[in-house]
Every structure is written in C-alpha cells, then in structure tokens.
Structure 1
C-alpha cells in the first residue's frame, strides 16, 4: 500500500483531517466545495513540485489558522513522509522523511504521483507552455532530478533574456557563460522530455484501443537536444534574439503534439469527449510507467462523472490491473457503484472527513 495514516493540519479548509485504513481504491464523496480536491492537492504535495494546483505556499494554509500547514503520511513499509511550512518561514517548503529534514526532491525517491483534474481538460486548447508544464510534471514523477535541471534552465534563461532586453549591448563573455549554463541544463531537460515521450508512446501502443481514444504523441523540440549543438544555436541566434528581446531557440519553446490515432486529427480539433478520453489514456499509460519505478499513487478528480457507464467500467478495470493506489472524488456514490465494495469511502463535509 502506498499511503496510509494521512494527516492534514490547517491545510486549505481542513483544520485537522485524518485518513486511516486506505486501500487500493480510495473514494472521497461530497458536495462541490466540501474539500475533496483539497485532499488530493495535499497528497500531490507529497512529491517534488508545486502540486496539482501549482499554488503559492502561503495560499495553502487555512485562512483562520496560524498561517502554516502540515501534511504527513506513512508509506506501506513504515516510512514517514511529510511536508508543510513553519511560522518563521511561511514561504519556504519544509520536507521531512523519518523526521529528518531533506530537500523536496528526495520525496521522489520514495513515491511517484500522477493526477488528472478537470482543469486539465483544456490542455490541448491552451498554449504550448501548458503542455510543457504537463510534460515536465510527468517526467518529474519518474525522474526527480528533473526539477533541478528545469530550475537551472529557467534561471539561466531569465538572466539571458534580461541581458538581451537591456538597451546596452550585453557583454559577449557574460552571454557565453549564461549560454553554457542554459545549454547544459536545457539539454538535460529536453532529453528527459524526449525519453518520456518515447516511453509513453510505447506504453500507449500496448493499451487496448477501446473504449478510450488512443493518442499519438510527438515531441517537437524548440532547439537541438545535444548540449554543444544548443550552445552553437544560442550563439548564432543572438542578433535575432536581441531584436526580439527574448530567447527564440531552446527547450523553453518545445511542444508536445497530440493527434488521435485512426483519425489523424490534432487533439485540439477533436470533440471534448475525445480529448478527455485521450487524456485518460495518457494518464493510464503514465501510471503504468510509475508502477514500474516505485510505489505509485494516482489522483483522479471528478473523472467518473464525465464518463458513460461503458467507459467508467473500463477505467475501473484498468485501474484494478495496475498496482497504483488510486484516489477518486465525486459528488455522489452512484458512479462508483462498481468499486465501492473494494474501496475505502470517506464523506467530506466542509473540511471534515467521515469514513462511510
């Protein structure tokens, strides 16, 4: 079992919530606004990264609490993990494993997390930046060190853009140094994205074609994947980049292209139902990759309500075949009738959780 004895303290609208006796399926039921997704968000913070809402840390603390929050859980092998903030540093995240403070990236050594939320339904309609963030989150669940490379890339890119936008001519040697940093981190980020797309594509080919639409994925790099080739491309693009006031080549311009297999149609042009089905297929394929790496947790927010009975049954059956611990939310029990006997069920009411 991945997670048990979960404790939320002054997190969002949960003053003190405890969830014990988890199983392979875990179901949170309650009205809209009761705090179901807040539980999933808390669980998502037990992994590297900013969680499923990417919220600022001060926003996670309960409004009428001490201004801090804490989340803790026990892994099936007795390991205690936790995260939160302290009163003396509310804008800095603290992470502990077995009582010892560690960098957040260490969480990825113990647990892999994936999720699907209603906000992601617009993934194929938004700009390329949303798909890059989606891609990086999938990579991070498999390769925790990706967060460090992405942060170095972002820092070097921000500084290079600042120099390019300055009216004064930038120092070429300074640009050389920044471009070397950008290329080193950028090549690692781009290569990790490419590896993931290759693995995901293979996993998607192994999934049944029905009843969910099968997506075909393509990685469209915004620059060379090799470090030295990226250094060269950045140097050659300086004049053009200076005219634009920003860097026009590199992994910050990568794109994830998704088409629906069989129709050869871009995902953005598919129906809402087809887009949802492709997202579910990607999520299930990624969950399979997570299960092969370390204990895995899959968070599915309001996913069953938007599926017809055939697809709901197929989803539950595929989840049964995996080893990931699954957390689902819904406003009522009816859509989950097929799994309620094998699930731990909680009713969520205004930030309080009662086991059914």
Structure 2
C-alpha cells in the first residue's frame, strides 16, 4: 500500500465535467472510454495539484466548463503517513490566474502543494519528443527537475520574463543602465536554472547506472548541451558574473538577431539508447516511447529517494502501443514504485492484467462509473 494516495477527488465546472466525484482506495486508477469522453480532462485536473499549468499547459481561463461562470475548481484529499491533507485549486479573481488552498487556508505559493505530493506525467503529445524541437525536450526536462526541486519551474519562468524585458529594451534602444540591471537579474535566475538542471541530471545519471535501473525498459544515456561552450564556472556567483558580462558584450548582436542568443533557453536535453548506442531521435517510434517510459520510471525513483515522496504518475493512453510483454513490465515497475498511478485508455482489455491492483472506471460524456 502506498504511503500517499489520493483518496478523494472532486471537480466543479472543469472542462466537460459539471461536477465529478471519485472516492478512491490506495490502488492504481484506470480510466477507460471513447476518445473525447473526458479521460484526459480528469487526469489534467489531477496534474493541476502541482506547480505550473498542468499536463496540457493550458491557460487557466480556458479550463472552465463551456457555458459556466468560469469558476472551475479541483479538490483532492491526500492520505499521507502524517494524516490526510486537503488541497484545492481553482479560478482566481484575476483572469488567467488561480488560487491554491491547503487544509482550508490560502497557500503562500503554488509550490507549497509539493510538500504533500509530487506529480509526473506522460501524454501522447510527448511521443515525438526526441525528434521534435529542442524547446519541447527542454520543457520536458524542466518538468522532471521541478518534480524534484519545486522552485525550478518558477525560476525558469522568471528568467524568461526578464529575458523578454531585455529583448524589448534592445528593440527600443533602451537605457544601458536599465539593461544592465535586467541582465544582472537574468543572470541570477539563469544560474539557479543551470545548477538545478545539472545537479538533477547528475543524480539521475547515477541512479540509471545502478542496479536499481532495471525497469524492463531500455536504459538511456542523458546529456545537456553546455550553457557556455568555452567555460564552465563552478559557482553560482562566477556564472552570474560571466553571463552578465557576455550579455553586455552581445547587445549589438542580439539587437540584430531580435532575440537573446545565449542562455539556459538555448540548452538542449539529449537521450541516447544505451544498448544500441543510438540517439533517441533515430530510434523507432516504439523504442522512443519505451525510452521515455523508462526515463520517467527512473526519475520517479529518484524523487522518492531524494524527497521521501513517491510521485503520482499520470499516464495518458500509455498502453495503446505497448506489446503484452512491455505492458506487463510497466505494471510491475509501477507496483515497485509504491505509488498511485493514474492510467487512461480506450480499451479496458489493455489493463486486464492489473486485476485487483487497480480500480477501474468507465468514462462517458463527463460521467464516471466504477467497473472494478
């Protein structure tokens, strides 16, 4: 039985759910139904119990049920080894924002939810991750890092906000002193982002190289492209100083390019199939999906080891393209994580081997019916 699990989930005016209620046991959760029934909407609601905009990255003012007053809400009871915790999030007064409440009290920040639960997810949109643009791989890796270091996502967002300010100033030929102040702020955020990424990668690589890494899925070699090609400052203050100097020196180049050409927003995350020695982008679609699943399973173990909190996994349409052997390996690996995993699919047969290890729900037109 997992130490932490979601025992109750309530949705109000969320996506295609006018209201929904699930009372759950400490087992996996399987949601099956036709496309468009609301399976992904439900696990998207769960994903909002973490920092960020959830697994679809949708603006908060687009989440409400069509025709409603816009006041969507998601509430969950989390059973922990210290007792139950009630967490809720929903539309705030300001358009495009949300509020978070924990045990009936307004949270100081969205990252406060991470004290009670961590979340990782895989969706079909990630299937082309390794052959797609670097920005998508970077966003995926930053999501992994945020599950381990909850403040990382905010640091990435703060850097990007400051960078946009610098780009506007460059375009407007703004005040150099103001530019220097923004560049110093960018350097502080960039340093935090860089060291969170590299530290997380180091721990993840070490765990992958250990015997614990036997998940039944291909092993991966991971890498991040250098932030600075010709130097690697060892401390945060050294990196901040170096970045500020380089941004000052590159103002003319960046003005001509219309963007900031150096920084953590240019870093790429790469994955190589260890056994084949082949970049993931050149592997078959099935191998890429297997690599992605193996990576998320190992990262879940890392989060549990380093934080003491086994992350909940949200796996959308996870079994559709896995053969029986790989499905069995996935279900066994999920059991070993000692966590509650939420899975969706169109065919209940794909999850039959889970048996009593999961609670099964049929989803149809925003309605839920327990089937096992």
Give the TM-score range, shorter chain: over 0.9
Aligned residues: CA RMSD: 1.6
In the aligned structure 1, how far is the partner of 2:281 from the partner of 2:332? 28
Q: How far 1:295 moved relative to its partner?
A: 4.6
Q: Which structure 2 residue ranges, 5 or more long, are not aligned?
A: 234-238
TM-score (norm: length of structure 2): 0.91
1:89 alignment partner in structure 2: 94
1:289 alignment partner in structure 2: 302
Indicate yes or no: 2:250 matched with 1:237. Answer: yes
Is the Cα–Cα contact under 8 Å of residues 72 and 90 in structure 2 kept in the other structure? yes
In the aligned structure 2, how far is the partner of 1:344 from the partner of 1:157? 46
In the aligned structure 1, how far is the partner of 2:245 from the partner of 2:270? 26
Is the Cα–Cα contact under 8 Å of residues 160 and 178 in structure 1 kept in the other structure? yes
In the aligned structure 1, how far is the partner of 2:20 from the partner of 2:178? 52
**Which of 2, 5, 15 is the matching residue for 2:5?**
2
Indicate yes or no: 2:344 matched with 1:340. Answer: no
Q: How far 1:208 moved relative to its partner?
A: 4.9
Indicate yes or no: 2:323 matched with 1:317. Answer: no
Is the Cα–Cα contact under 8 Å of residues 32 and 363 in structure 2 kept in the other structure? yes
In the aligned structure 2, how far is the partner of 1:14 from the partner of 1:290? 32
Is the Cα–Cα contact under 8 Å of residues 215 and 297 in structure 2 kept in the other structure? no
> Which deviations, in whole Å up to 9, do the C-alpha atoms of 1:118-175 show, x marking residues without a partner?
1100111221111111111111111111133122211110011112223x3x322122
Q: How far 1:264 moved relative to its partner?
A: 2.2
Indicate yes or no: 2:218 matched with 1:213. Answer: yes
In the aligned structure 2, how far is the partner of 1:81 from the partner of 1:211? 34
Is the Cα–Cα contact under 8 Å of residues 215 and 333 in structure 2 kept in the other structure? no
Is the Cα–Cα contact under 8 Å of residues 10 and 69 in structure 1 kept in the other structure? yes
Is the Cα–Cα contact under 8 Å of residues 2 and 296 in structure 1 kept in the other structure? no
2:180 alignment partner in structure 1: 176
Indicate yes or no: 2:128 matched with 1:125. Answer: no
Is the Cα–Cα contact under 8 Å of residues 222 and 255 in structure 1 kept in the other structure? no
Is the Cα–Cα contact under 8 Å of residues 71 and 84 in structure 1 kept in the other structure? yes
In the aligned structure 1, how far is the partner of 2:25 from the partner of 2:132? 36
TM-score (norm: length of structure 1): 0.95
1:156 alignment partner in structure 2: 162
